[in-house]
Structure 1
Amino acid sequence: MQGRTETVLVLGASGGIGGEMARQLRDAGWRVAALKRDLAATQELRDGIHWLRGDALNAADVAVAARGCGVVVHAVNPPGYRDWGRLVLPMLEHSIAAARVEGATLVLPGTVYNFGPDSFPLLREDSPQRPLTRKGAIRVEMERRLHTASEAGLRVLIVRAGDFFGPKAGNNWFSQGLVKPGKPVTAISNPAAPGVGHQWAYLPDVARTMVELLARRDTLPDFASFHMAGHWDASGREMAEAIQRVVARHGGRPPRIGALPWWLLNLASPFVTTLGEMREMRYLWQQPVRMDNSRLVATLGHEPHTPLDDAVEATLRGQGCLPPLTVGRNMAASSFAGTSP
Structure 2
Amino acid sequence: MSERQGQEDKCALVLGATGGIGGEVARQLREAGWQVRALHRRGAQVASSGDGIDWRQGDAMEREAVVRAARGCSVIVHAVNPPGYRNWPKLVLPMIGNTIAAAQVAGATVVLPGTVYNYGPDAFPTLTEDQPQRPRTRKGAIRVELERQLQAAAAQGVRTIVVRAGDFFGPHLIGNSWFAQGFVKAGHPVSTVRLPGRPGVGHQWAYVPDVARTMIELIARRATLPEFATFHFGGHWDADGTRMAEAICRVATLHGARPRQRRFPWALVYAAAPFVTTLREMLEMRYLWREPIRLDNTRLIATLGREPHTPLDTAVKATLAGIGCLGKEAPAAHAELHPS
- The reply to whether TM is greater than 0.5 is yes
The structure 1 segments of at least 4 consecutive aligned residues displaced by more than 4 Å after TM superposition are 41-45
Greater mean deviation of Cα atoms: 40-49 or 103-112: 40-49
**Partner of residue 266, structure 1:** 270
1:107 aligns with 2:111: yes
Shift of 1:322: 0.6
Shift of 1:275: 2.4
**Partner of residue 30, structure 2:** 26
Shift of 1:78: 3.3
| Structure 1 length-normalised TM | 0.95
1:96 aligns with 2:66: no
**Partner of residue 64, structure 2:** 60
After TM superposition, the structure 1 = structure 2 runs for residues 1-341 of structure 1, keeping only pairs within 5 Å, are 2-40=6-44, 46-78=50-82, 81-169=85-173, 170-253=175-258, 255-325=259-329, 332-341=331-340
Task: Identify unmatched segments of 5+ residues in structure 2.
Answer: none
Greater mean deviation of Cα atoms: 316-325 or 115-124: 316-325
Q: In the alignment, is the contact (CA less than 8 A) between 1:307 and 1:338 conserved in 2?
A: no
Shift of 1:79: 5.9
Residue 138 of structure 2 aligns to which amino acid in structure 1? R
Q: SS in structure 1 opposite 2:275?
A: coil
Change (3 A) 1:45 1:241: closer
Residue 247 of structure 1 aligns to which amino acid in structure 2? A
Aligned-partner Cα distance in 1 for 2:182–2:142:
24
Q: In the alignment, is the contact (CA less than 8 A) between 1:43 and 1:53 conserved in 2?
A: no
Q: SS in structure 1 opposite 2:336?
A: coil
Aligned-partner Cα distance in 2 for 1:309–1:44:
34
Aligned-partner Cα distance in 2 for 1:156–1:40:
30
Q: SS in structure 2 opposite 1:270?
A: helix
Aligned-partner Cα distance in 1 for 2:128–2:99:
26
Residue 140 of structure 1 aligns to which amino acid in structure 2? V
Residue 208 of structure 1 aligns to which amino acid in structure 2? R
Q: In the alignment, is the contact (CA less than 8 A) between 2:193 and 2:260 conserved in 1?
A: yes
Q: In the alignment, is the contact (CA less than 8 A) between 1:42 and 1:53 conserved in 2?
A: no
Shift of 1:4: 1.9
Q: In the alignment, is the contact (CA less than 8 A) between 1:310 and 1:332 conserved in 2?
A: no
Q: Deviations over 1:145-196 (max 9, x none)?
A: 1111101111000000000000111321111110000101111110110100
Q: Deviations over 1:89-126 (max 9, x none)?
A: 01100000000111100011001000011100000001
Aligned-partner Cα distance in 2 for 1:188–1:43:
37
Task: Identify unmatched segments of 5+ residues in structure 1.
Answer: 326-330
Q: What percentage of residue pairs aligned between the two structures are identical?
A: 62
Change (3 A) 1:129 1:336: same
Aligned-partner Cα distance in 1 for 2:56–2:225:
30
Aligned-partner Cα distance in 2 for 1:335–1:42:
27
Shift of 1:16: 1.1
Greater mean deviation of Cα atoms: 156-165 or 170-179: 170-179
Q: Give the structure with the higher percent helix.
A: 2
Shift of 1:337: 3.4
Paired residues in the alignment total: 335
Shift of 1:274: 2.8
Change (3 A) 1:51 1:81: farther
Shift of 1:300: 0.2
Shift of 1:256: 1.0
Residue 162 of structure 2 aligns to which amino acid in structure 1? I
Residue 66 of structure 1 aligns to which amino acid in structure 2? A
CA RMSD of aligned residues (A): 1.6
Q: In the alignment, is the contact (CA less than 8 A) between 1:296 and 1:303 conserved in 2?
A: yes
Residue 72 of structure 1 aligns to which amino acid in structure 2? I
Aligned-partner Cα distance in 2 for 1:155–1:318:
34
Q: SS in structure 2 opposite 1:3?
A: helix
Residue 179 of structure 2 aligns to which amino acid in structure 1? F
